Amino acid sequence: MTRLQTKKKGMEKFSEDVCPNVMKKINKQGKLVRHCYSRWCGANEFEVDHFLNKYVVALDKKTCTCGMFQLNAYPCCHAYAAIADRRDPVEVYIADCYKKDMYLKCYSHMIHAVPSQKEWVQTGCDPLMAPKIKKKERQTNQS
């Protein structure tokens, strides 16, 4: 119970729109952008050279051929290079599950306190028992 409340209070103090752990990972991807060169292909599609490899980034679909953009739901270094080329804010391309509002919504519910077992209402029914464990018969190999 206390963990839920401490997590909620900690995030309420945070001023950014994206969770801090995710921002650290995105900033790490931002450092890898210096090795990427992006070219605009038209509409929202970019071709990104990263060392000897080429990747296709579609910003409107939030996809990259490396697969990390789809897997993590936040931009990989190739998508980050394309976003920087368009001069868009990175926060637009981060999934809602990493946003502060969604985090607070997850921790907004409360677990109510439970009284001791002596205070429980007696129902008059038989107590619940665990099921009996059945041992499997061993099979013999006959060849």
- The domain tally of the chain equals 1
Within a domain: residue 42? yes
% pLDDT > 90, the chain: 64
Within a domain: residue 121? no
DSSP assignments along 49-110, one per residue: EETTEEEEEETTTTEETTSHHHHHSS--HHHHHHHHHHT--GGGGS-GGGBHHHHHHHT---
Average pLDDT over residues 16-22: 92
Amino acid 143: pLDDT: 62
The pair of three-digit structure tokens given for residue 124, joined into one six-digit string: 């008059």
Within a domain: residue 70? yes
| Residue 49 belongs to domain spanning | 19-93
Selected residue with higher pLDDT from 139 and 113 = 113
Distance CA 19, CA 28 (A): 14
Within a domain: residue 76? yes
Within a domain: residue 3? no
Please say if the pLDDT value at position 142 is more than 80.
no
Within a domain: residue 81? yes
Average pLDDT over residues 42-64: 95
DSSP assignments along 20-44, one per residue: HHHHHHHHHHHHHGGGEEEEEEETT
* Contact yes or no for 81/38 (Cβ under 8 A): yes
Amino acid 4: pLDDT: 84
Within a domain: residue 115? no
Amino acid 127: pLDDT: 84
Residue located via tokens 């409340």? 5
What are the tens digits of pLDDT across the range 82-136? 999 999 999 999 999 999 999 999 888 888 888 998 898 888 899 889 999 888 8
What's the first-to-final CA gap in the chain, in angstroms?
59
User: Quick one: residue 125, left, alpha or beta (phi over 0 = left, psi -120 to 50 = alpha)?
Assistant: beta
Within a domain: residue 130? no
